[in-house]
Amino acid sequence: MPILNKPALYLPEYIITLEETIELAKREFKDSPNLKKAIDLINNTGVKKRHIIQPIELASLHPGFGYRNAVFEYQSKRLVPDVICQAMNNAEIMPGDISAIIFVSCSGFLMPSLTAWLINKMGLPYNTVQIPIAQLGCAAGGAAINRAKDFIAAHPGSNVLIVSCEFCSLSYQPTDSDIGSLLSDGLFGDAITAAVVTADQGAGLELLKNSSYLIPDTEEWIRYQVKDSGFHFRLDKRVPGTMEPLAPVMTELAAASGWEIDNLDYYIIHAGGPRILDDLCKYLGVAREKFAFSRDTLVNCGNIASSVVFEAYRRMWEAGSLNSGDRGIIAGFGPGISAEMSLSEKR
């Protein structure tokens, strides 16, 4: 069975704290009638700090979408290779052992995908299958894991490299003062993660069964409005309530394997915000501390989009809390509203 090995992580050197976020909001949006409510919501996220790819003085400017996308290309090419090397070292494989590369990001656009550049730069085989995923947002981390498992099932003996590169700060819009935009300004952070899914080696999580689900008629609830100035994040106030319909889907996935969703050993859950985690605990009947590593990621990194599940898993690994035979679930949520879920067992 496919094995999800220990992920590698890069967090940018520039940090913005909760206090700095609030000061920025007060300065940039002092005339907005939504400011007070937005600050209350930002305080309630629990996010203490976030890492961003540029100093806040540059991140809060808007020199144009073209410039920001150029920053995405430059920084991803500068930083991603080292993270990949760490991930391959964790999996104890070489570039020539890779059969497919999945690149996920919702914060920049390149064509050809960065996958083509990485094949040339990293010495991957020229017949490496390229699978870029650009429009699943925060759910893309879970989707990448599931597609890697599916690829290996179709191509036995393959190894799949997953790369998540999220520079959410490049989507900051200084003219957007609606509640959803202001909240996102204090919630999202930047990160790069990478992990290798190996076919028959490694000591990570054995991927057993996966599932996808779309909540009907919610496609407008999380979206980008694309303008000349770039990506404008739109967030519906109903989004936090989506865990109630998703909890039964996760319960059914576990039950199909004879597992009880409220009695698993670990939960690697997308940290979209504190209410997402709190509600999911409630509807699954899971103790709050079971989501500790997802909460830690939220507190120390913010919502790092598709990278969250990899960073929560990395934190879990580093803490030494995973034991052979432990069973758990990985779940990512994003636009659609989409859910990508996977049952796994510690090898």
Averaged pLDDT in 10-residue chunks for the chain of 347 residues: 97 95 88 89 91 88 88 97 98 97 95 97 97 95 98 97 96 86 89 96 93 97 88 88 96 97 97 92 96 96 97 97 97 96 97
| 106 catalytically annotated | no
What pLDDT, on the 0 to 100 scale, is given for residue 51?
A: 97
What pLDDT, on the 0 to 100 scale, is given for residue 72?
A: 96
Amino acid at 88: M
Same fold, 3-198 and 205-346: yes
Q: Among the options 85, 106, 138, 165, which is catalytic?
A: 138
What pLDDT, on the 0 to 100 scale, is given for residue 38?
A: 86
Q: Distance between CA atoms of 204 and 215, rounded to whole angstroms?
A: 31
For the chain, the domains span: 3-198, 205-346
Distance between alpha carbon 33 and the CA centroid of its chain, in Å? 31
Contact yes or no for 53/75 (Cβ under 8 A): yes
What pLDDT, on the 0 to 100 scale, is given for residue 90?
A: 97
pTM over 0.85: yes
What pLDDT, on the 0 to 100 scale, is given for residue 62?
A: 80
Question: Looking at the domain 3-198, which fold is it?
Answer: Peroxisomal Thiolase; Chain A, domain 1 (3.40.47)
What pLDDT, on the 0 to 100 scale, is given for residue 61?
A: 81
Q: At what angle do helices 274-284 and 243-256 cross, to 10 degrees?
A: 50
CATH entry, 205-346, from 3.40.47.10, 3.40.50.300, 3.40.50.720, 3.50.50.60: 3.40.47.10
What pLDDT, on the 0 to 100 scale, is given for residue 201?
A: 81
What pLDDT, on the 0 to 100 scale, is given for residue 300?
A: 96
